[in-house]
Amino acid sequence: MRKGVMRPGHVQIRVLDVEEAIVHYRDRLGLIEVQRDDVGRVYLKAWTEIDAWSVVLRPADEAGLDFMGFKVVDSDTLAARKQDLIDYGCEVETVPAGELKGCGERIRFELPTGHKFELFAEKEQTGKWGVTDNNPEAWPEGLKGMRASRFDHCLLYGDDVDGAVDLLQNVLGFQLAEQVLDRAANDFRVAAFLTVSMKAHDVAFVRHPEKGKFHHASFYLESWNDVLRAADLISMHDIPLDIGPTRHGLTHGQTIYFFDPSGNRSEVFAGGDYTYPDHPVVTWDADKLGKAIFYHDRELNENFLGVVT
């Protein structure tokens, strides 16, 4: 059952060199640089997003994920989910309004996989970039690089995936859309893809011995042609390529993976499945993991599985 959690609202990513990172996220992915703050963070948005920003780059000595934030429908829902998290046994921290510029109060907690998650109800809305709400044109001119249209999801690596799934399903109303089970090991859950929407996934987890690891942040493109064009840009600019262009078995998205200058993985993808609340969980067997991850090669790739920040 949905519980008023609407969508991934933001991700804060640690980067080693902010200027190099901006080239990646603004000029290659095609996000729009919105503002900076007095601790040196850079805020960016994808052009179809109505909130003021969705990606925050924080200068740091180590790459990785600071937190992922989900927007809830209103402040009553924020208060209700805060109480639910406390009742579930989570330690909940309240981050005051304005700590991220233009964002209201945030409720922060840690998932059993070690990832910091936040909920918030309010963020400054600046509308879609370059188009109006009245008789809007199809797309704005002047977009750069891959022309990413929205921040879509993160894939996170951590140990207690079952714990994260339990919390997200039962406290926050996420729906388990897809999973990978090891049939030979008592249906041990290797991966879980969860959604709060009709999307195939809004966040996903893969089992990994270390807590709190970041596999990728993903951005939506309009078409397979745009994924191929992203591949061209990756070559043009000598961006380290991870995998692709190819198709996932899980979620069936058409995808390409590459790295930012700090080593954080980015994905751009198109297409993919949709999920209604009455859809059954789609299950992949772990012995089909190669095909589940890369539908064409049907082979696991060490880099893809092993490299995380």
Q: Which residues carry out catalysis?
A: 153, 201, 216, 248, 257, 267
Shortest Cβ distance from residue 249 to ligand M3P (Å)?
9
The 195-224 site mask, x for binding Fe ion (CB under 5 A), equals -----------------------x------
Q: Confirm if 229 and 172 have CB atoms less than 8 A apart.
A: no
Q: 42 or 154, CB closer to ligand M3P? A: 154
Of 68 and 293, the one with the shorter C-beta distance to ligand M3P is 293
Gap between the Cα atoms of 57 and 218, Å rounded: 15
Nearer CB in complex with ligand M3P: 85/156: 156
Of residues 118 and 267, the one with the C-beta less far from ligand M3P: 267
| Residue closest to ligand M3P, measured at CB | 251
Binding partner of residue 251 among Fe ion, ligand M3P, none, CB under 5 to 8 Å per kind? Answer: ligand M3P
Q: How far is the CB of 253 from ligand M3P (least distance, A)?
A: 5
Contact status: 267 vs Fe ion (CB under 5 A): yes
CB of 38 to ligand M3P, least distance (A): 34
Alpha-carbon span 188 to 63, nearest angstrom? 30
Min dist CB 164 to ligand M3P, Å, is 15
CB-based contact 259:216 (threshold 8 Å): no
Q: Write out the residues near ligand M3P by the rule CB under 6 A.
A: 155, 191, 206, 218, 248, 250-251, 253, 267, 269, 293
Q: Least distance in Å: CB of 196 to ligand M3P?
A: 16
B/e letters for 139-171, b = 16+ CB within 10 Å, e = fewer, are ebeebebbbbbbbbbbbbbbbbbeebbebbbeb
Q: Which is nearer to ligand M3P, 119 or 180 (CB)?
A: 180
Binding residues for Fe ion (CB under 5 A): 155, 218, 267
